[in-house]
Amino acid sequence: MIVLLGKTEEEMIEFAKELGEAPFRGKQLYQAIYGRRVLEFSQMTEFSRALRQKLGEIACVTLTEIEKVFYSSDGTRRYLLKLRDGREAEAVFMPEDRRDTICLSCQVGCAVGCKFCMTAQLGVKRNMTAGEIISQVIIVLNEVHGVGAQPPHGTNLVFMGMGESFLNYVEVLKSIRIMAEEKGLGISVKRVTVSTSGIVPRIYDLAKESVRPHLAISLCATTEEQRTDLMPINRKYSLEELIKACRAYPLGDRERLTFEYVMLDDINDSDEDARRLVKLLDGIRAKVNLIPHNPAPELPYAASPMERILSFQKVLVDKNVAAFIRRPRGQDISAACGQLAARHQAQG
Ligand code: SAH
Ligand code: SF4
pLDDT in tens, 159-183: 999 999 999 999 999 999 999 999 9
Mean pLDDT of the chain: 94
- The set of protein residues with a Cβ atom below 6 angstroms from ligand 1 is 116-117, 160, 164, 195-197, 218, 220, 260, 262, 291, 293-294, 337-338
Q: Which tops the pLDDT comparison, 347 or 3?
A: 3
**Can you name the CATH fold of 2-60?**
DNA polymerase; domain 1 (1.10.150)
Which pLDDT tens digit goes with each residue over 253-262?
A: 899 999 999 9
How many CB atoms sit inside 10 A of residue 118's CB?
23
Triad 258, 314, 242: Cα angle to 5°: 30
Task: Indicate which atom in ligand 1 lies nearest the CA of residue 110.
Answer: 1
- Tell the CATH topology of 65-333: TIM Barrel (3.20.20)
Q: 90-124 pLDDT, tens per residue? A: 999 999 888 999 999 999 999 999 999 999 988 88
Residue nearest to atom 18 of ligand 1 (CA): 338
Model confidence at 335: pLDDT above 80: no
Question: 268 exposed, middle or buried (CB, 10 Å; 0-12, 13-18, 19+)?
Answer: buried
pLDDT confidence band for 342 (50 / 70 / 90) = low
Q: Which amino acid residue places its CA nearest to atom 8 of ligand 2?
A: 163
Residue 171: what residue type? E
CA of 151 to the centre of ligand 2 (A): 30
Beta-carbon neighbour count of residue 309 at 10 Å?
21
Close Cβ partners of 250 (under 8 Å, ≥ 6 residues apart): 207
pLDDT for position 348? 32
CA distance 163 to 320: 32
Beta strands in 128-191 (DSSP E): 154-159
The string of pLDDT tens digits covering residues 18-53 is 999 999 999 999 999 999 999 999 999 999 999 999
Please state the φ and ψ torsions of residue 231, each to the nearest 5 degrees: -130, 95
The domain limits of the chain are: 2-60, 65-333
Average pLDDT estimate for 183-200: 95
Taking the centre of ligand 2 as the mean of its atom positions, its distance from the CA of residue 256, in whole angstroms, is 22
Instruction: Give the whole-number percent of the chain exceeding pLDDT 90.
Output: 86
The whole-number pLDDT of residue 346 equals 40
In this structure, which residue's CA is closest to atom 15 in ligand 1? 218
Q: Would you state the pLDDT for residue 6?
A: 97
- The ligand 1 atom at the shortest distance from the C-alpha of residue 303 is 23
CA of 33 to the centre of ligand 2 (A): 31
The tens digit of pLDDT for each residue in 118-161 reads 999 888 889 999 999 999 999 999 999 999 888 878 899 999 99
Residues with CB under 6 A from ligand 2: 110, 112-114, 117, 119-120, 163-164, 197, 218, 338
